[in-house]
């Protein structure tokens, strides 16, 4: 069963700030856009996408677990900080999507849509997405992206690396910066900064884009492994099915 419902397949409109126009995904394949690797594209000297599309990171992870300062360039305080893998640091991300930019307003230096975390609370999503919704852009892999902690299944994240519950790398399917190459570049030799960056790493359930229209329903296939999981989407299979 494809838990990423078909709404994204037909139309997905970006919303960034005071939008004067929006851009629909224009499919080159059977889906409206597809996964790409910004870091790899940078190394190869191309944009990693067909035509005039840009390989845009969908990861809003930020220094210290703060909110990204997309609308306040350079601001660093208790609430906002520098994005680790998007905006100016898009090239450090190993996770992204091909997007046709230029037809919608964007506060990002590369004109990409605003990355967001679907697991943020409603007020935070409303702030970063300027009233639009935060749509998850990739499904978790139930066989490789999940980890059990204290008897509960959940999606793996950077804290599990620090706690040595995972080796990250190729162990997971949708993990950001699997070999910490981006974090190493970002930290510039500062060990504290490197550890902080690693702690902010995540898998597909922590990445998305702000969309003007409604999001497709996406089940958390890791949490679905728990007996007490309550399905979010109509018609979703029972846990363990």
Does 82 fall in a domain? yes
Does 69 fall in a domain? yes
3-class DSSP state of 206: helix
Does 127 fall in a domain? yes
Range of the domain at 64: 7-141+204-225
Mean pLDDT of 219-241: 78
Q: What is the pLDDT of residue 33?
A: 66
pTM for this structure?
0.84
Does 149 fall in a domain? no
Q: Are 113 and 104 in contact (CB under 8 A)?
A: yes
Per-residue H/E/C for 116-161: ECCCCCHHHHHHHCCCCEEEECCCCCCCCCEEEECCEEEECCHHHH
pLDDT tens per residue, range 11-55: 334 443 333 222 323 333 333 468 999 999 999 888 788 888 899
* Nearest in space to 175 (alpha carbons), one of 149, 154, 204, 152: 204
pLDDT surpassing 70 at residue 207: yes
What is the Cβ-side half-sphere exposure of residue 74, based on CA atoms within 13 angstroms? 0
Does 152 fall in a domain? no
Domain count, the chain: 1
Does 112 fall in a domain? yes
Does 103 fall in a domain? yes
- Higher-confidence position of 167 and 16: 167
The DSSP bridge pattern shows strands 146-149 and 96-99 to be unpaired
Q: Are 134 and 118 in contact (CB under 8 A)?
A: yes
Q: Around Cβ 45, how many Cβ atoms within 10 Å?
A: 6
Does 116 fall in a domain? yes
pLDDT tens per residue, range 52-105: 889 999 999 999 999 999 999 889 999 999 999 999 999 999 999 999 888 888
């Amino acid at each position: 069963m494809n838990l990423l419902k078909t709404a994204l397949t037909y139309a997905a409109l970006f919303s960034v700030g005071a939008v004067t126009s929006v851009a629909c995904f224009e499919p080159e394949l059977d889906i409206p856009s597809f996964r790409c690797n910004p870091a790899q594209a940078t190394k190869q000297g191309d944009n990693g996408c067909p035509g005039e599309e840009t390989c845009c990171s969908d990861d809003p992870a930020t220094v210290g677990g703060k909110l990204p300062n997309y609308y306040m360039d350079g601001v660093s305080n208790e609430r906002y900080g520098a994005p680790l893998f998007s905006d100016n640091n898009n090239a450090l991300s190993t996770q992204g999507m091909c997007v046709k930019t230029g037809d919608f307003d964007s506060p990002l230096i590369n004109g990409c849509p605003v990355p967001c975390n679907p697991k943020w609370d409603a007020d935070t999503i409303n702030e970063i997405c300027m009233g639009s919704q935060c749509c998850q852009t990739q499904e978790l892999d139930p066989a490789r992206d999940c980890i059990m902690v204290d008897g509960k299944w959940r999606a793996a994240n950077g804290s599990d690396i620090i706690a040595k519950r995972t080796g990250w790398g190729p162990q997971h399917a949708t993990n950001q910066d699997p070999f910490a190459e981006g974090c190493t570049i970002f930290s510039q030799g500062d060990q504290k900064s490197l550890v902080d960056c690693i702690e902010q790493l995540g898998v597909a359930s922590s990445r998305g884009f702000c969309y003007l229209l409604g999001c497709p329903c996406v089940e958390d296939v890791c949490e679905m492994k728990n007996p007490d999981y309550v399905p979010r989407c109509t018609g979703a299979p029972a846990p363990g099915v």
